[in-house]
Structure 1
Amino acid sequence: MMSKRALVIIAPGCEEIETVTSIDTLVRGNVKVTVASINPNKQREVVASRGVHLVADHLLEEVAHETFDAIVLPGGLPGAEYLRDNPLVIELLKKQHAKDLWRAAICATPAFVLAHHNLIGDALVTGYPGTEGQLPAAQVRKDRVVVDKPNKLITSQGPATSIDFALAIVAALQGRETADKVRKDMLA
């Protein structure tokens, strides 16, 4: 069986906990993770929202031609705004949806990126408290994590929900049993 692959896209001002927790948890779930930067300076390194330096494996344009089982968007500001304003990110999200592959967004990114570009459709969603007004009102849930299987969309609220968010991605890609084992091993 081929290993599942996830693309985590980072930008200046992305939220550290959401980024690193997603990467680490996915790796623990035997998902091959590629981290790609959309740094406007064309550097793999970005300075995250709290000043932590993160280094991507690639620039996004270097891996944009590849297919990933999931695309993961960490939140944070101004990281979510960089993601929202990057045409390649939006193109990849549209292709991901068209191919019926998973998309995952946490914190500000469900509102700032997905809703802004009409990429939610009829999916149920959640996001950072205070961003609900930017999400489709009838579809918003107050849950920590919302998994909309028919639309292959996973959304979550913020830093404190990062482990649950990442475990939901592991479950979607590798199955509930793998996610439960990772949860148990992490004492989550």
Structure 2
Amino acid sequence: MSVLVLVAPGSEEIETVTILDVLVRANITVLLASCCPAGLRQIRASRGVRLVADCHLDELPAGDFEMIVVPGGLPGSECIRDNTRAISLLREQAASGRWRAALCAAPAVVLLPNQLLGKASITCHPGFWARIPSAQLSHERVVIDKDARLVTSQGPGTAIEFALTLVQVLRGATAAEAVAGPMVI
């Protein structure tokens, strides 16, 4: 099993690269899949950095993932929101009781309009707080809803904390501490 990270033109590069880097440091297999409408693996992220995905979502190998992660950024989150394959995978993940994670704009832009939040307690970028039902919104930097098997976070400034939380959820606190130490967190 591995972790699937979805990326699209306009995804936030700090968030995307941080997720990949921290998970790899924890010896977690990560697959970066492009949701680019043109079927391309190379995307230009929100600040112009070029990223090359391992595969396009249409070429995704069969199998289940321990977790599916959606970084934020615009218009990347909107592209993922509108990708029927990406939403189908996220729905299957939720229905199977497996972990999902999203940060920055993604909880409000990808998960909320596709009814993928349920009653989970979440956070997102403060610019999107008004979209989240007040009963579900947390102002914490990173939120784990164990019942929904959902991890959310606020944005680029919380990306390392978010990624370490993903390691903790998937491999335990000791593994997260082992990664954080050499990073001088």
> Which TM class, normalised by the smaller chain length?
over 0.9
The answer to whether structure 1 residue 150 and structure 2 residue 156 are counterparts is no
Measure the CA separation in 1 of the matches of 2:73 and 2:36: 15
TM superposition shift of 1:122: 1.1
Aligned to 1:139: 136
Structure 1 runs (4+) greater than 6 angstroms displaced: none
The alignment partner of 1:138 has SS state of coil
Q: Give 1:170's aligned residue.
A: 167
8 A Cα contact 1:64 1:92, kept in partner: no
Is the Cα–Cα contact under 8 Å of residues 5 and 33 in structure 1 kept in the other structure? yes
Aligned: 1:60 with 2:85: no
2:162 partner letter: F
Give me the whole-angstrom Cα distance separating, in 2, the residues matched to 1:158 and 1:81: 16
Given that 1:129 and 1:157 are in contact with CA atoms closer than 8 Å, whether structure 2 keeps it comes out as yes
Counterpart-to-counterpart distance in 2, 1:15 and 1:58: 18
Deviations 1:53-96 (A, max 9, x none): 00000001211632110001010000000011111111000000
* Residue identity (%): 50
Partner of 1:121: 118
Which letter does structure 2 place at the counterpart of 1:133? A
Could you state the TM-score of these two structures normalised by the residue count of structure 1? Answer: 0.96
Superposed, 1:90-101 pairs within 5 Å as 90-101=87-98
Count how many residue pairs are aligned between Structure 1 and Structure 2: 185
- Listed as ranges, the gaps of 5+ residues in structure 2 are none
Letter in 2 for 1:48: A
Note if 1:105 corresponds to 2:124. no
Separation in structure 1 between the aligned mates of residue 80 and residue 157 of structure 2, nearest angstrom: 21
Counterparts of 1:136 and 1:7, CA distance in 2: 27
Instruction: Name the SS for the 1:116 alignment partner.
Output: helix
Q: Where does residue 157 of structure 2 map in the other structure?
A: 160
Provide the secondary structure at the position in 2 that maps to 1:77. coil
Rounded Cα–Cα distance in structure 1 between residues aligned with 2:181 and 2:123: 25
Once residues 34 and 8 of structure 1 are traced to their aligned partners in structure 2, the CA distance between those partners, rounded to angstroms, is 6
C-alpha separation in 2, matches of 1:185 and 1:5: 23
Aligned counterpart in structure 1 of residue 45 of structure 2, from 40, 43, 48: 48
Q: CA deviation at 1:137?
A: 1.3
In the alignment, does 2:27 pair up with 1:30?
yes
In structure 2, distance between residues paired with 1:135 and 1:92: 22
- Counterparts of 1:105 and 1:171, CA distance in 2: 15
Q: TM-score, normalised by structure 2?
A: 0.98
Report how far residue 98 of structure 1 moved.
0.8
Q: Aligned residue for 1:11?
A: 8
For residue 44 of structure 1, what is the amino acid of its counterpart?
R
Alpha-carbon distance in structure 2 between the residues aligned to 1:23 and 1:64: 19
Counterpart-to-counterpart distance in 2, 1:28 and 1:37: 22
The answer for unaligned runs of 5 or more in structure 1 is none
Q: Equivalent residue of 2:157, what SS?
A: helix
